[in-house]
């Protein structure tokens, strides 16, 4: 008789948890997974996928505005939020079902209920206790809402996808990728947007030149960006208008307030204290490079840990853990040189070191930039320019950072990330023939 009910019990059916469950089951393990919300997690249900679909929808505003310069005669334009919203939600339903089918096909038992750790090797779920040789916490993270008067009158990115109608005026609080993405989406769809940023710049930690370019474009397009500004209180007037009071004494009237000021690990109420596992200062589950906690039977992957909050990272962590525990191939995920993107308008993408990071870490560096007006913008009569930047280690000629803001930046930098990961040099870039006319050719033309 088996000592445990399961070989692996996964708490959280997001990208990392589902990948770990599927791969472990493929190795022959008896696997169960529990999800209190919808299978698919943040990325599929309320994050990357539906947000990117909203980005696509919003970008039609610019495409339609430019169409006349390309010979297309269009009639009156009208946007219907409900049509876009409902199609996006239908795609979320489809993808969630695909994730569930993947689990079912691999023989993973799914508990559609909240689970918590009841003790060593024990999980309480759906009114009963089960045992498992290994328990994986993959519960992700949630949007942070500040502790200030009236904060509950605002919403987070989780609720954006279910808005009954678009607001006329929106205040977006935050300067990170989520704030900039939704500020751009709302603005393109005709909402009057004010963005409040606590810091003196957008996108702290990113290549400053990209952040500065995005700020200038956002302001030129009509988004009101207030740097060095924090919200002190929020109230609702009798007519339903929100009054957002800032620390500079000004009050902004809005129909919607979006908090996009960060995300916190979903580790509350998991029962970690019952097994003596203390969380990190940020509330995350502490793990080593191989996703193990200090308890040999307890592991964690994804946004609930203190590592990189990106879906592809969580997937790789879950896959590596399953291979290590049940596939006989110990594996760790390399968390350096991970490409990332902001699906703002225009989008931003980066991989490797910023110029400042490179100077601090490597010493002398060489920096190459290309500041160009995309060909499409030329014909459309738009003045916006794209910016590309290469950071090169002066001692080795190795390209250690690639950064871009402009059309298709994420698609371009994804390919460039292979070169950075492979340690290619600036000379290798220079020897590569340009593919003309493209934005990507700028990567091999910088001198």
Q: Report, in angstroms and rounded to the nearest whole number, the Rg of the chain calculated over CA atoms.
A: 24
CB-CB contact of 428 with 410 (8 Å): no
Give the β-pairing of 251-254 and 242-246: antiparallel
User: What is the C-alpha separation between 333 and 290, in angstroms, rounded?
Assistant: 7
Quote the tokens at residue 57. Answer: 């929808």
Number of H helices, E strands in the chain: 12, 22
User: What is the C-alpha separation between 218 and 228, in angstroms, rounded?
Assistant: 17
Residues 6+ apart with CB under 8 A from 153: 234, 235, 236, 242, 257
Question: Could you give phi then psi for residue 246, rounded to 5 degrees?
Answer: -105, 165
Alpha helices of 353-423 — where are they, by DSSP H?
A: 355-362, 375-380, 409-422
Alpha helices of 327-425 — where are they, by DSSP H?
A: 355-362, 375-380, 409-422
Catalytically annotated residues: 436
Residue 196 φ/ψ region, left for φ over 0, alpha for ψ in the -120 to 50 degree band, beta for the rest = beta
User: What is the C-alpha separation between 309 and 373, in angstroms, rounded?
Assistant: 33
Give the β-pairing of 340-342 and 141-143: unpaired
Closest alpha carbon to 122 in 277, 266, 1, 275: 275
Give the β-pairing of 169-173 and 365-372: unpaired
Three-state DSSP class for residue 364: coil
Closest alpha carbon to 391 in 210, 214, 213: 210
Quote the tokens at residue 262. Answer: 């960060």
- Residues making up the chain, counted from first to last: 447
Residue 273 φ/ψ region, left for φ over 0, alpha for ψ in the -120 to 50 degree band, beta for the rest = alpha
User: What is the C-alpha separation between 2 and 19, in angstroms, rounded?
Assistant: 24
CB-CB contact of 234 with 240 (8 Å): no
User: What is the C-alpha separation between 351 and 365, in angstroms, rounded?
Assistant: 16
């Amino acid at each position: 008789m088996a000592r445990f009910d399961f070989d692996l019990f996964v708490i959280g059916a997001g990208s990392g948890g589902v990948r770990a469950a599927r791969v472990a089951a493929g190795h022959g393990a008896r696997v169960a997974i529990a999800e209190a919300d919808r299978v698919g997690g943040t990325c599929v249900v309320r994050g990357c996928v539906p947000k990117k679909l909203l980005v696509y929808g919003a970008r039609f505003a610019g495409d339609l505005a430019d169409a006349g310069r390309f010979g297309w005669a269009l009639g009156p334009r009208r946007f219907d939020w409900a049509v876009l919203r409902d199609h996006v939600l239908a795609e979320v339903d489809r993808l969630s079902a695909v994730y569930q089918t993947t689990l079912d096909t691999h023989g993973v038992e799914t508990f559609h209920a909240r689970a918590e750790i009841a003790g060593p090797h024990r999980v309480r779920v759906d009114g009963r206790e089960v045992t498992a040789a290994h328990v994986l916490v993959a519960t992700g993270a949630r949007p942070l809402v500040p502790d200030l008067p009236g904060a509950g009158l605002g919403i987070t990115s989780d609720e954006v996808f279910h808005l009954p109608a678009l607001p006329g005026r929106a205040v977006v609080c935050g300067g990170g990728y989520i704030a900039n993405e939704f500020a751009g989406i709302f603005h393109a769809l005709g909402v009057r947007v004010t963005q409040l940023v606590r810091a003196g710049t957008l996108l702290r930690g990113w290549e400053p030149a990209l952040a500065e370019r995005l700020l200038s474009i956002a302001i030129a397009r009509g988004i009101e960006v207030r740097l060095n500004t924090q919200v002190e209180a929020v109230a609702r007037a009798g007519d339903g208008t929100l009054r957002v009071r800032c620390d500079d004494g000004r009050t902004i009237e809005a129909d919607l307030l979006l908090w996009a000021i960060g995300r916190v690990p979903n580790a509350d109420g998991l029962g970690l204290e019952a097994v003596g596992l203390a969380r990190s200062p940020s509330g995350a589950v502490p793990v080593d490079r191989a996703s193990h906690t200090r308890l040999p039977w307890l592991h964690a992957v994804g946004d609930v840990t203190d590592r990189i909050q990106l879906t592809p990272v969580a997937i790789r962590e879950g896959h590596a853990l399953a291979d290590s525990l049940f596939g006989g191939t110990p594996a760790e995920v390399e968390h350096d040189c991970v490409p990332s993107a902001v699906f703002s308008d225009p989008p931003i993408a980066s991989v490797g070191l910023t110029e400042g990071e490179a100077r601090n870490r490597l010493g002398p560096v060489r920096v190459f930039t290309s500041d160009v007006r995309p060909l499409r913008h030329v014909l459309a009569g738009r003045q916006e320019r794209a910016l590309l930047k290469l950071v090169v280690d002066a001692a080795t000629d190795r390209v250690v950072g690639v950064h871009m803001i402009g059309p298709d930046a994420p698609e371009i930098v994804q390919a460039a990330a292979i070169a950075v990961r492979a340690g290619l040099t600036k000379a290798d870039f220079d020897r590569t023939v340009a593919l003309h006319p493209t934005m990507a050719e700028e990567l091999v033309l910088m001198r």
